[in-house]
A and B are shown apart, each in its own frame.
Chain A
């Protein structure tokens, strides 16, 4: 069974540009989570989807971040326009109801 897959693994963009991160959850997992780790700090929750609906987006830092999960399958996280402080590792995780969450390898985003 394939695990949680994230694309790209690395992205380097200039300040002001747009970047879209993608997460493919484990097939059949209704719950999908995005987390972010800024350099040297803790991993922070961004948001939680249940199928295509946003269950909790209390961790989204500001309106430059837009997450979608069309059709309840894969999810995208768009940052527009990117700022220097958006640099970090973005993790995606998925789970079945009340079950263990499985994490992807993360996308390392560097904004220069």
Chain B
């Protein structure tokens, strides 16, 4: 079975500052990795995904993540955040594509003006 750890439950950051949201996973087999975002009063939206190939993945809204197999990490980064990035971010993993995804507990990103 696989698991996902998001150590930071909340991350406050000033507007235009860089941010990194940490994600570590555990699995005995190769996995697919995802980051989802939930804006207030909205559903989950796929931010980016790693299925194979280049370990640096670019997503929507200027976010990117890097898959590090040796450290079993998939940290999410953005060089300059905006107020509109305030949301909850979920790291997720699966072994079968989009089926039966295992999510982390989420990280609330609060962008401070």
Contact = CB atoms under 8 A, between A and B. Distances in A.
Contacts of A31: 98-99
A101 B43 CA distance: 12
A58 B102 CA distance: 13
B44 interface: yes
Interface string B72-97: 00000000000000000010100001
A74 interface: no
Given A40-B105, A41-B105, A4 B98 contact: no
Contacts, number: 54
Given A95-B98, A98-B97, A100-B98, A42 B106 contact: yes
- Give the top 6 A-B pairs by smallest Cβ distance, nearest first: A103-B44, A43-B103, A105-B43, A101-B98, A103-B43, A42-B105
Interface of A: 3-4, 31, 33, 35, 40-45, 48, 55-56, 58-59, 91, 93, 95, 98-101, 103-106
25 contacts: A31-B98, A33-B99, A33-B100, A35-B103, A40-B105, A42-B4, A42-B106, A43-B90, A43-B103, A43-B106, A45-B101, A56-B99, A56-B100, A59-B100, A91-B43, A100-B46, A100-B98, A101-B98, A103-B36, A103-B43, A103-B44, A103-B45, A104-B43, A105-B41, A106-B43
